[in-house]
Structure 1
Amino acid sequence: MSFDRAHTDDLIAFLGSSPTPYHAVASAAERLEKAGFRQVEETDAWDAQPGGKYVLRGGAIIAWYVPENAGPETPYRIVGAHTDSPNLRVKPRPDAGAHGWRQVAVEIYGGVLLNSWLDRDLGIAGRLSLRDGSHRLVAVDRPLLRVPQLAIHLDRQVNEGMTLDRQKHLQPIWGLGDVDEGALIRFLAQEASLDADEVVGWDLMTHDVQPPAYLGRDRELLAAPRLDNLLSVHAGTTALASVASGPLPYIPVLAAFDHEENGSQADTGAMGPLLGGVLERSVFARGGTYEDRARAFAGTICLSSDTGHAVHPNYPERHDPGHHPLPNGGPILKVNVNQRYATDGAGRGIFAAACERADVPWQSFVSNNAVPCGTTIGPITAARHGITTVDIGVAILSMHSTRELCGADDPFLLARALKAFLKG
């Protein structure tokens, strides 16, 4: 098959415009608006009009398309993903420093691969909360911060094993001088064309400013930040926008949650009520009853799309010997019988059928029995809403690093499979 590098080019643009979950959902909403979707507010009454709609809440977006032939009992087909990535996030009192250096106080978010944040040129981005209750996005996408590593001359044993103190060793520098209380927020308010007195709160985080790039002799790989899991958010957004027209047997949905990397326990996380509330309100807005809601949920299927591990050529013993997913081999089906992933045999059939319709190859992933298995929003979605859920994704290297690596063709292959799944 011919591979569409235009899709990966667009993913690169999406990653560049999405340094935080708040920017990611804004970027997704912009793409959906161009496909005819419109935002609906959770505080408003919802109508029964067909078409594309979406809800934004913080760093999460739920978008769905109601075809004209849909009844209140019509099931959903959901692509689930998450918008957050491990990083360093700014503390409530951000201005710190010592010994003539100005620093920014940060807290570690999620399962950060700590050493990957050393000696990187970092920007800062996020959301400023204003006195009138509104929010303003801000992004400084240029070298601003750096977490300097200790020179080898001062730690002769560093190559025998590095130990980083999370409190002391990960605080980035951003200048020289005495600690200046309020300096960071004054600077970011100016970047956002605001008066610093308007800013009463913030959700800010660091990001690597090195842009995504094709890698390798044949440019067959993609090196980029936040592939986990904006690759899936972008693929799901693209797939939903492409099927949002005409009659469909299902109502296609994109559910991109925040806070997956620290357990999903948030109002914008998969464990919260956001997805269930949106789906139920859609049923009721179309004149449905609780019986219709039960019928719709019983026929609903979710593909939980998140990145997984490609076989590492330097550490093959960490992988299951019979399952070695490779980049550009197509999306992976993720299985764990202890329900770290939600896939079962029936789910395998659902995913295989979608890939077959899309003419997309696919691979299986299972963890080595001696290595703990990660998890996703999949088991949470299945348990909370009682809907059939299948865990899939794209195989990558360097998961949770500031810069991850995938096959350059796999984003397109994933989006193509998701499109076939949403069309039903």
Structure 2
Amino acid sequence: MKDLLIQKNKNLFFSMGIYLFIFFVIPFLYHLFNPDAFITQFQGTNDFSSLIYVFILLALMLLSYNLASLKLPRVKLPTIMFNSKLVLVLLLLFIMTSIYFYINFSFKFRHTGEGLTAAGNDIIILSLLKIFFKTYLFISLVYFLKTERVFGDRYVYLLIGLSFWLSKSGSTDLPMIFVAIIFALKKQSFLVKPIKARRYKLKIFNNFSVRIILLLFLGFGVVFMGFANKLGFEKAQEVFFSEEGLPRVLNSTTLRLSTHYASNFGAYKAYEEGSYAITDAIPGTWNNMYSRAQYLFSGQAVERDRVWSINRANYLNLFNDHYKEKTGASPGIFASIYYTNNLFLGLLLIGLYIFVIIKILKVSLQLNTLKLNLAGYIVCTLFIIPLFESPFDNINIFNTSFVYLYFTTIPLLKINNDKSLKITPV
């Protein structure tokens, strides 16, 4: 492992590159060649002024990557990630709530539009458990990259995959099932570049063409599940297998991938106009934290503000048709600068956030680690994306985005800095 130093390893660099390419470069090119599609769906896309700030933050991101040191601070904050008994209890709860979800809701939950609060505490708990075990899979990947060992037993990952399958409610659940199965089968070689003397029994997973085929199937599944999430399975099948289906699928998928890119236009426009969806975003997010706390501890629902989260504010600023009462849309890392209602403060805070997150990820993914392959870069990208979706929504500690941030960064800091950390299999 000593020869696998950071100078020879670009795990984070390529994973971040995939993230930026999919969510910003492709949308930018599509915007240039098909501006009418953007004008029809998104607000403010005929004014490219906001891209100046995107390039500023891109430069800050690259600078952060190159300047971030390899030392991380020690933390004493608690995490249950390495407590095998607690993880087992949570896993059993995850299985039970997933079975409950499958029996009572199944895949209909998301596209019927029912909110979490309306569905009850069981579904709120399930949502939090899904976030926790998503971070568990990410920490498992990082731990494997650094030690070539897995800190969960096979049956743990098998049950995690089964629970994600039973509780699937969107396209992002499929990759989690995929990763869980890889760890359950102990075929992590699918995600890393081969090293001399590496001993894996199932050689088929080291075959590049097999990896590409599996990734294509996974990509198709993610896109199909995205349509099924909105339309239902039958409608999605009609769209995918009709004569005019392919152009519609490509257009719709590209526009869905463009929300972070397009958010820069809508949020910039709203910021310039002094819209309430900018001025009320942070206060509404803060107030919503207290509302959720009251609901969780007393069971009494509290009427929330008209803008209760950054995601809700961004949804109002992003789409031309924003008639849905409970819908949100994450702004992405770049458009988040506008939601402080002070552009300089937004640039400062988001720039600092980028530096801290990249510093943690750089040490975790590139210092004395195995090298990921293309499949590994893609999987790693999926785990990185939530950290850059809506940083200011982390103000609300009862938000799933904060849960993901906490249970990702704290365990990573402990893995990298706590030499006395002992991890026993569940």
TM value normalised by structure 1: 0.23
Greater per-residue strand proportion:
1
TM value normalised by structure 2: 0.23
Greater per-residue helix proportion:
2
* Highest RCO, 1 vs 2 (Cα 8 Å, sep ≥ 6): 2
